[in-house]
Amino acid sequence: MCGMPQPPPVRSTATPPPRPDASMSLLNNVMDHSLDEGYAEAAARRDAEGGGLPRTVRAKLGLAAGLVLAALVVTLGAAQARISAPVVAKEREELIDRIDAETKAADRLEAEVDGLRDEVGERQRKALQQLGGDQGQLVALLSGGTEVHGPGIKLVVDDASDAGSGVGGPRESTGFSDTGRVRDRDMQRVVNGLWQSGAEAVSINGQRLTALSAIRAAGDAILVDNRPLVPPYTVLAVGDGKKLSTAFQDSADGQYLHALQENFGIRTSISAQDEVRLPAAPSLIVRTAEPRTTGAATGSGQATEETGKGTS
């Protein structure tokens, strides 16, 4: 048994079991080589040259550069504004000077217009006195061409005290939203009532009225011969003060004014005056009529017609 040769050992062909960490080779490689060789080499070279800066330092440097740039922009803007300020101020002064000059020119032209209007009115009044003959004074009175003074009445018409809070009503149809405000048609009725009651001359706020005067509205304003008036409206009328006052208050127009006072708060007051003074009308328009016979004959008669002829 001792001399018998031993059989060679049997080698197993089975695959040995894998290592426990064999499946983590990729992760191990990443952990062992977390920094790329090229990047590591570049970083080492920068460190060797002294050019590498921490990220926080670079961020601070970038912020500082941004602040410097912003300060530079603000400084340049302020300098530009400081440079342009004198130019703007100069242009503003020139504009103010132009406005003042144009305003003065307009005032001069308005004064010239008023002077020419007064001159025309004076010439018209002289023409009325010359051409009116014995009744020249009456013609001048009726046409408003001369100043008038004598006994009469003073009638004041004003908006309601709470005119700004009108709530509408029947008077709103003419375009005025506030029923507590005096309107052009109200003043028309007042003036017509005074004429009918026997007034010889009438004025509103110093504006002399004639037979051809017009009382109209422009928005919320009342115009007399295209001149705006503001409340309160003071109406002066020449005539027998007590009789004129009584006749007007008893007339339909006087009752209309009383209804405005009762229903809408329009403020009115009327008083007889020993003397009132009315100015002459600023401009005169006198119209006359004369008969004219036509040459056309019909049968045994002739037709005649009257035509108006205007003079001013």
pLDDT tens digits for 67-79?
888 888 888 777 7
Does 110 share its domain with 207? no
- Please tell me whether residues 80 and 183 are part of one structural domain: no
Residue 23 maps to a domain: no
Q: Give yes or no: residues 223 and 184 share one domain.
A: yes
SS3 58: helix
Question: How many domains does one find in the chain?
Answer: 2
Q: Do both 223 and 153 map to the same domain?
A: yes
Residue 67 within a domain:
yes
Q: Rounded to an integer, what distance in angstroms lies between the CA atom of residue 121 and that of residue 140?
A: 11
Q: How confident is the model at residue 154 (pLDDT cuts 50, 70, 90)?
A: very high
In this structure, the answer to whether residues 133 and 162 fall within a common structural domain is no
Domain of residue 80: give its range: 52-146
CATH number, domain at 168?
Answer: 3.30.70.1880
Residue 154: left (phi > 0), alpha (psi -120 to 50), or beta? beta
* Alpha-carbon gap, residue 166 to 219, rounded angstroms: 16
Are 112 and 161 contained in the same domain?
no
Structural domain ending residue among the three candidates 131, 146, 161: 146
Beta-ladder partners of 278:
148
Angle 38-43-45 from CA coordinates, rounded to 5°: 95
Whether pLDDT at 24 is above 60: no
Based on the fold, state whether residues 171 and 261 are members of the same structural domain: yes
- pLDDT per residue as tens digits for the range 163-200: 654 444 344 444 445 678 899 999 999 999 999 999 98
Instruction: Mark whether 99 and 141 lie in a shared domain.
Output: yes
Distance CA 88, CA 83 (A): 10
pTM for this predicted structure: 0.52
